[in-house]
A and B are shown apart, each in its own frame.
Chain A
Amino acid sequence: RKEVEQDPGPFNVPEGATVAFNCTYSNSASQSFFWYRQDCRKEPKLLMSVYSSGNEDGRFTAQLNRASQYISLLIRDSKLSDSATYLCVVNMGTGSARQLTFGSGTQLTVLP
């Protein structure tokens, strides 16, 4: 089993739709969680951190379920500019060896 698993998609949705991605992780001791966005042939960029109580940033909502070991990202009112690959990232390990493990990404295309 992969340490961090994501549905690769692709997800093709019309503009204005709501879309949700899930990501499961294997290490129950994982400490912190993030969603990144990556545009084609560009570097990953931090979209948002994921907090235990859930958090929202505009049209984006992130949630953490420790009991079931998954995090989710909800995008409301999708825009064409939201088309990208979304990477789930989990911080595992201890101390200086704590490493960020990346999922393979979920591809989203928002259609006009």
Chain B
Amino acid sequence: NAGVTQTPKFQVLKTGQSMTLQCAQDMNHNSMYWYRQDPGMGLRLIYYSASEGTTDKGEVPNGYNVSRLNKREFSLRLESAAPSQTSVYFCANRETYNSPLHFGNGTRLTVT
């Protein structure tokens, strides 16, 4: 039982390159989330999906797009990476609106 799985674990991009961060869950939870974590800033919500087929912006959505094609998977896309997007990205899910989050292992992204 893997819970929430993210790929890749590490990635280095050049400015302007694009990439998609993948997230998959085997917990059958409706809600899924993408956060970024920067030193001294805490975790900030990028996008979330309350259910399959729906997505909404979080606190810091600029420069990102997401896709929730099915209940299991929620991907995060950087169309044109910028150095300011260097961060650790966490995918998470939760069972209900009052439940805690379950996190994946994270993707460490560096944009040069």
The reply on A104 being an interface residue by CB < 8 A is yes
Q: Are A34 and B58 in contact (CB under 8 A)?
A: no
Interface centre among B43, B90, B102, B106 (most CB of A within 10 A): B43
- Interface residues in B, total, Cβ within 8 A: 25
Bound together, the chains give a CA A20 to CA B38 distance in angstroms of 25
Distance from B11 Cβ to chain A, minimum over Cβ atoms (Å): 15
Interface centre among B58, B101, B108 (most CB of A within 10 A): B101
Q: Are A91 and B56 in contact (CB under 8 A)?
A: no
The reply on A53 being an interface residue by CB < 8 A is no
Contacts A42-B106, A43-B106 given; indicate if A100 touches B101 (C-beta within 8 A).
yes
Binary CB contact string for chain A from 62 to 103 against chain B (1 if under 8 A, 0 otherwise): 000000000000000000000000010101000111111011
User: Nearest residue in B to A99 (C-beta to C-beta)?
Assistant: B45
Residues of B within 8 A of A103 (CB): 42
Within 8 A of A (CB), among B56-70: 56, 58
Bound together, the chains give a CA A91 to CA B100 distance in angstroms of 9
Q: Are A43 and B100 in contact (CB under 8 A)?
A: no
B residues sitting closer than 8 Å to A (CB atoms) are 31, 40-45, 48, 50-51, 56, 58, 88, 90, 94, 97-98, 100-106, 108
Instruction: In the A-B complex, list the 6 residue pairs whose CB atoms are closest, starting with the nearest.
Output: A96-B50, A43-B103, A104-B42, A102-B43, A98-B97, A32-B98
Apart from A99-B45, A99-B58, A100-B100, list 9 A-B contacts with CB within 8 A.
A44-B43, A46-B102, A89-B100, A96-B50, A97-B50, A97-B56, A98-B98, A100-B94, A102-B43
